[in-house]
Amino acid sequence: MTTTSTELVLDGNGLHLTDVAAVARRDAPISVSIAPVAQAGMSESVLLKNELLETGIPIYGVTTGFGDSVNRQIAPSKAAALQRNLILYHLNGVGPIATPEVARATMLIRANCLTRGPSAVRPEVVATLLRHLDEDILPLIPERGSLGASGDLVPLCYVAAALIGEGEVRYRGATRPALDALREAGIAPVALGPKEGLALINGTSFTAAFAALALTDAAELAYAADVATAMTCEALLGNASHFHPFVHANKPHPGQGASAALIRELLAGSKLTTSYEEILVRRDTLDGRGFLLLDHRIQDKYSVRCAPHVNGVLRDSLEWTRRWVETEINSSTDNPLFAWETGELHHGGNFYAGHVGQAMDSLKIAVASLADLLDRQLALVVDEKFNAGLTANLVAPLPESDRQSGLHHGFKGMQIAASAVTAEALGLSGPATVLSRSTESHNQDKVSMGTIAARDARTVIELTRQVTAIHLIALAQAIDIRGAAQAAPAVRRVHELIRAHVPFTDRDRRMDRDIERVARLIADGSVRAAAGVADPLFIPHG
């Protein structure tokens, strides 16, 4: 696969998460096509399929029924009609409709998987799917209904239905009958050949779409969390020595080390933080006494001191989950598969989304733990018992004689919201992949539940982003109270970004829209860009 700023050429082997994010979010116009070498392989496998059909042998899902109905063989003349029926009887999804980003990611990943060749799908079928993507004709895909084994049968049926002109799509800002949208765009509905309906729906592309987008979003969260930790350290007049290279070199997890290094860089030039050495210089001495109460703690609380150890887990999880998901989106994930080089037909279970499910269950645990960390930091910053002289709940400082004194509660409500959202994220972090159910006459007797795991990961990331946004707004308030001029240059840049969208809170007011604005700044990479400090482990947004 090759890519430029405007073109993406699929060959089934080199699709990256950054490509998926860019196409899904339409960061720039991108034309997607099939590599000539991939088209040749696809055509060869179609020829093999047709040759095997002529022999009259049973081929799963082509001349047999589906699932437990595999023992019911049909004549080759019925093979095409069978594919249409397959799509229609799976149009039973429920729940909310997937976002346009997820729909685009699903279509791109499914197209890429089919260009590998063994699925025996004609190049023109995939080319039509890519035309849908280019015209932004998006199937309305219900989020619920997939077991993540035997592929995402129900969700992907909505993609396949749009291809044949069935169902409804989102087109030019409105919900339209698919056939009407195709006519307006000048696209002919696909007449499916043998195996092609099965190949379109018998894959993990819906699960993988959620996973791919979740990973790029989680990378932005990991960076924003380190920014929040640096700002917390400044707000609390904390000890920056906790992030010293020696400490983290002696527990050399890459993610932990990268997190600590980033926090150190973000704090460079700070006049608010202290160090162990500075504390020793300032301290009183025992001077022969048997006991001395220090006026400055030499260690900060765990939510500050151990922040790299928490975020490091997420960072290292991103590394291996990225590899697993990129393998998945460059795989043939349907059944059966045609080996045109040897003339063989193979039946298997590549539709099983076990790797993606395990990756997403792990990712959501790491992300939810990050929400918990930031919620604990926020609790320190707003509480006058722990915030090193900041105002209670970060209310704007006022003299007691001021008529407004005592009327305002600052960030008290924001902390309550952060705690509630954190609890929800933690509640969704339980593994979905352990919930296998036997179904479909016990043919699908062990399933991955990967789709649920991936959807949950998406939701946990959204919740954690909201917690992070609340925390960053509170930290901007704390930096203002301390004196922004004393903050580290990188922190000042983030502070300026937040202040460009959220004003200083000088009195009680609604803040829900502020949270939305800052959450968007995290999601689109603006917080990372404003900080201006490179992160060696960062997975780009798109």
Pairing of strands 7-10, 94-97: unpaired
Distances (CA, A) of 429 to 207, 348, 465: 17, 31, 15
| Token couple for 75 | 């004549």
Cα 454 from chain centroid (whole Å): 8
For residues 339 and 345, what is the distance between their CA atoms, to the nearest angstrom? 6
Q: Are 354 and 151 in contact (CB under 8 A)?
A: no
For residues 121 and 197, what is the distance between their CA atoms, to the nearest angstrom? 9
**Hey, what amino acid is at 105?**
A
For residues 237 and 387, what is the distance between their CA atoms, to the nearest angstrom? 9
Residue 243 DSSP label: G
Helix (H) or strand (E) holding 304: helix 302-305
Adjacent-strand bridge partners of 152: none
* 225 closest CA partner among 316, 304, 300: 304
For residues 432 and 361, what is the distance between their CA atoms, to the nearest angstrom? 7
For residues 325 and 341, what is the distance between their CA atoms, to the nearest angstrom? 27
* 152 closest CA partner among 446, 530, 522, 449: 449
In residues, how long is the chain? 542
As annotated, the active-site residues are 60
For residues 190 and 171, what is the distance between their CA atoms, to the nearest angstrom? 18
Q: Are 435 and 191 in contact (CB under 8 A)?
A: no
| Token couple for 42 | 């696809």
| Token couple for 46 | 């179609």
> Reading across the β-sheet that carries 168-171, which strands appear in turn?
138-139, 168-171, 174-177
Helix (H) or strand (E) holding 19: helix 17-25
Coil, strand or helix: which one is 508?
coil
Q: Are 213 and 101 in contact (CB under 8 A)?
A: yes
Distances (CA, A) of 397 to 380, 393, 508: 18, 11, 13
Distances (CA, A) of 535 to 222, 293, 529: 10, 40, 11
